[in-house]
Amino acid sequence: MPTKLEKFAEFESFDNCVTLFWENLSKGFALKGKWHKEHFKNQKPIVLELGCGKGEYTIGLAEKHPEKNFIGVDIKGNRIWTGAKQAIDNNLNNVAFIRTKIDFIDYCFEANEVDEIWITFPDPQPQSPRAKQRLTHTLFLDRYKKFLKQDSIVHLKTDSTGLYEFTLEVIKENNLPLIWHTNDLYKNCPADRQELINIKTHYETLFTAKGEDIKYICFKLG
């Protein structure tokens, strides 16, 4: 298994990965508005996974949905390396990864460039002073709106009751269309939506093994 430093070095060489810090983004990102034409070379819908970690969910979705393009976003390059290498080894040409802070996500895409967002087991930021760092806070939703198409769908999966309830309140405060939600996905998952529990992140596997309930919210934004 490569060391952390070796993963960083190899990650930078992968064609399906890009590292973006403020120094790059503030000068203008070359792929912004050109992901379809320049990177994927098709017009398939683009789906983001924010806080993708090792990319298990991005890879799982990409394998099941070749009709879509998937981009995993995380700040930890050594984690993303796992998913990026798997995508290369399995010839998944509909997968890409961005190493950046999600605070900068609206600098990575042009208006109407993204069709859907998955937020999978993010840090719930349980302390009240850090509420603005929650990925479903209105401040982040406003960032997402800048590049989402109208009525795009946002999914949240979490083990945190606090984040689940907070997100429902944010949806209500912003008058956003709530499609479906449950505080126990594995108990209440509809028969026609089994994909929601068949694809798991690393943390989801750990949480379910401990018997913890997984919460899910699906709403429209854009």
Active-site residue set: 123
Nearest to 108 by CA among 45, 51, 41, 24: 24
Q: Tell me if 176 sits within 8 A of 220, measured CB to CB.
A: yes
Residue 18's SS3 state is: strand
What is the DSSP code (8-state) at residue 25?
H
Q: Tell me if 117 sits within 8 A of 50, measured CB to CB.
A: yes
Distance CA 105, CA 49 (A): 11
Distance CA 112, CA 161 (A): 32
Token output for 114: 């993204």
Distance CA 221, CA 18 (A): 26
Strand order in the sheet with 69-74: 17-19, 95-99, 69-74, 46-50, 114-120, 148-158, 215-221, 178-182
What is the DSSP code (8-state) at residue 77?
H
Token output for 111: 């208006």
Nearest to 126 by CA among 86, 81, 163: 163
Paired sense of beta strands 95-99 and 17-19, if any:
parallel
